[in-house]
Structure 1
Amino acid sequence: MTFSICAYDPQTGQLGVAALTAQLGVGKLVAHARPGAGASASQALINPYLAFDSLDLLAEGRPAEEVLDEVISRDEGREYRQLGLIDRNGQTAAWTGSKTPDWSGHIARGTAIAQGNRLVGRETLEATLDAFYAHPEKELAHRLLHAIEAGESTGADKEGALSGAVTVVGTERYPLWDVRVDRADDPAAELRSLVEDFDEQLVPQIRKMSTREDYVGELTREFMAEEKGGEE
């Protein structure tokens, strides 16, 4: 009941996931990414631990295909699941169980992989990947947004869309982008509006926040300098 894309940007090292679904709250359970590890989309009859366990194994430096085989083998409900993975080197892997609703499948292309179920057809995933690669100059979050907008334009989920998410991680434990629409008549349009707002108002601040290597952070240092200047 979902389609999604997991991707890696070799220019920035960012990893991300974008998804749309006919259910509530897709960002809560489907989209997962961890810096230095990879990104994952767990969907159809969701088992969130497929994503959690995959990211744990990817963080050890294991390749996506090997990780996929291991986590799927643990799950006796695997035929009802879908799982898309991309590792920190841009290698992809995916699983589509035989009992996921038609049309179901996945397509890998370069450093991105798209997967979906209960779709109008393969064309949704083809359009998703075409749009992703049509904008190589854009930041990963925007490329992911373009991708799911294009997928949605094909008709995508036969039941329509209700929620959407774009999640991107950079070098830090906290996400660079975590944009969610939990319920909307047109979640792709709502995501577009939120991404534009985030780009203007929030992401510039996140880029200046404390990091593992700079515990104070540029933003706090600016406030400290202003306070000190006001005392002189």
Structure 2
Amino acid sequence: MTFSLVARCHRTGMFGMVISSSSPAVAARCAHARAGVGAVASQNVTDPRLGPCALDLMEQGATAEEAVAILRRTGGFMDWRQVLAVDARGGTAIHSGGKALGLWAEARGEGAAAGGNLLSHEDVPRAMLDAFHAAEGHLGDRLLAALEAGRDAGGEAGPVHSAGLLLVHEQPWPLAELRIDWTEDDPIAAVAAAWAVYRPQMGAYVQRALDPSAAPSYGVPGDP
């Protein structure tokens, strides 16, 4: 029911992920990232506890491979789960349980991993990974290029209704967390449109949190 990609930017150390599904609010359950630590997608028959657990393990020093191996041994009903992880060194790991829904597939590369279930075609994750590595610019731009490539390669076997982009960098809160929780139209295009609006303002929102006196104006009525 889902296709996603997790990644680390080798230039900035930023982490992020993109995800889309026929299910509602997929990013609310499946997208997890922590600045300086990693990013994790916990999907298929989703257990949202797996994402924070994997991030805790990586924060304690485990690699993505080690964290996913621990989850595979200790997590509940792991045959039903699909977990993708990337760590602070750019290492990646994927667990796809034998009971993952429909056609499932995965692809791994330096600093990024893609996977999905109930896919229309087994090449969807590879198309996402290739698009991510071929794209340039901000990590958010590259992640959205990957998500769009997954959609264009066939994506899920049925129509998708939700999508999300999550970015973390330096601060304990998300740099960007953009979600479309339900639409009958194209949720991936809607997230891309939201990113086009949010990206130019993104740094200002961080600055306002850290030091409002040095932040740009708010651009609202009454703001001097």
TM class by shorter chain equals: over 0.9
Larger radius of gyration: 1
Deviation at 1:65, TM superposition (A): 0.7
Counterparts of 2:119 and 2:155, CA distance in 1:
5
Structure 2 residues not aligned, in runs of 5+? 218-224
1:49 aligns with 2:49: yes
- How do 1:132-151 residues align onto structure 2 when only pairs under 5 Å count? 132-136=132-136, 138-151=137-150
CA offsets 1:132-177 (integer angstroms, 9 cap, x no match)? 11113x1001110110011001221112110000001000001111
Q: What is the TM-score when the length of structure 2 is the normalising length?
A: 0.92
2:17 is aligned to 17
Aligned residues: 216
Structure 1 residues not aligned, in runs of 5+? 212-216, 225-232
Deviation at 1:28, TM superposition (A): 0.4
2:222 is aligned to none
CA offsets 1:202-221 (integer angstroms, 9 cap, x no match)? 3031242344xxxxx2x433
**Given residue 182 of structure 1, which amino acid in structure 2 is its aligned partner?**
D
1:221 is aligned to 214
Cα RMSD (Å):
1.5
Counterparts of 1:103 and 1:71, CA distance in 2:
23
Counterparts of 1:31 and 1:53, CA distance in 2:
13
1:205 aligns with 2:198: no
Counterparts of 2:216 and 2:197, CA distance in 1:
23
**2:53 counterpart SS class:** helix
- How do 1:24-103 residues align onto structure 2 when only pairs under 5 Å count? 24-103=24-103
Any runs of at least 4 consecutive aligned residues in structure 1 with deviations exceeding 3 A, and if so which? none
Counterparts of 1:58 and 1:9, CA distance in 2:
17
**Given residue 149 of structure 2, which amino acid in structure 1 is its aligned partner?**
A
**Given residue 91 of structure 2, which amino acid in structure 1 is its aligned partner?**
Q
1:125 is aligned to 125
Q: What is the TM-score when the length of structure 1 is the normalising length?
A: 0.89
